Amino acid sequence: MAKPEKLIENGIRLDGRKPDELRHIKIKVGVLNRADGSCYFEFGGNKVIAAVYGPREVHPRHMQKSTSAVVRYRYNMASFSVEERKRPGPDRRSIEVSKVSRESLEPVIFQEYFPRSAIDIFVEVLQADAGTRTAGINAASIALADAGIPMKSLVSACAAGKIDDTVVLDLNKDEDNYGQADMPIAMTPEGNITLLQMDGHLTREEFGEAFELAKNGCKAIYELQRAALMEKYASQTEGDVVE
Ligand code: UDP
């Protein structure tokens, strides 16, 4: 899309949202038979799948740690996920996204219970519309729980930023492209921040405002993550009783 004249008019964004509104979220837990845990996560125009394997043997062996598990995270964008075909394979951006996403989840994983083993997280972006790292973290956190990996809590992520001098929650691609700031955040339900990045500029006040928006966004996402897990496991338990 060419640069629109305005990204927000009378408090309503081009996609019809209010400044503090998240995009529509759809979650499905346990979508892949061969992974230990998995999750499909739709976040507006973003569609991602997370697969988790482990705890399992570490290959190559030299990567293993004697006192804890190694957590590995691979974020990958399908070549068809973006407007302009992406060259397949890792690049600087995907290596960075993989690193910060791994670091956003490591604090909640009880790695010390699984020395010499690996917990592998794969995130595949099928469709991208800005916010793929946060969608990936949300999906991965659910997939870890689905795999039965002991965790202190789930992790929820979303971005806040600034468009046309207005602080808004959860920027879409056009808002990210033509906006003034984008700040992805991940946190635990207790409010411990595990990821905070920022592109662009915010004043101290704007930062505070954006941070509040993102915090509320993460809270809302946490409820949806929890509900999605409950939906899978509560219905399975009920099924067992009936059988
Ligand atoms: N994008 C793209 N091609 C690329 C990388 C990114 O079209 O090679 C788009 C994609 O829609 C992505 C958005 O740019 O979601 C924003 O990318 P950013 O690096 O800010 O990460 P994200 O917001 O997806 O976590």
Per-residue pLDDT for the chain (243 aa), expressed as one digit of tens each?
888 999 999 999 999 999 999 999 999 999 999 999 999 999 999 999 999 999 999 999 999 999 999 999 999 999 999 999 999 999 999 999 999 999 999 999 999 999 999 999 999 999 999 999 999 999 999 999 999 999 999 999 999 999 999 999 999 999 999 999 999 999 999 999 999 999 999 999 999 999 999 999 999 999 999 999 999 998 776 555 544
Q: Which atom of ligand 1 sits closest to the CA of residue 182?
A: 20
CA–CA distance from 161 to each of 112, 154, 202, 210 (Å)? 36, 23, 8, 6
Residues 6+ apart with CB under 8 A from 191: 215
Q: How far apart are the CA of 237 and the centre of ligand 1, in A?
A: 39
The pLDDT score that the predictor gives to residue 235 is 79
Q: Where are the domains of the chain?
A: 14-242
Instruction: Note the pLDDT of residue 238.
Output: 59
234-237's contacts with Cβ under 8 Å and 24+ in sequence apart are none
Q: What is the pLDDT of residue 243?
A: 45
Residue nearest to atom 8 of ligand 1 (CA): 86
CATH second-level architecture of 14-242?
Answer: 2-Layer Sandwich (3.30)
Ligand 1 centroid to Cα of residue 148, in Å, is: 31
In this structure, which residue's CA is closest to atom 16 in ligand 1?
130
Nearest CA residue ID for atom 19, ligand 1? 93
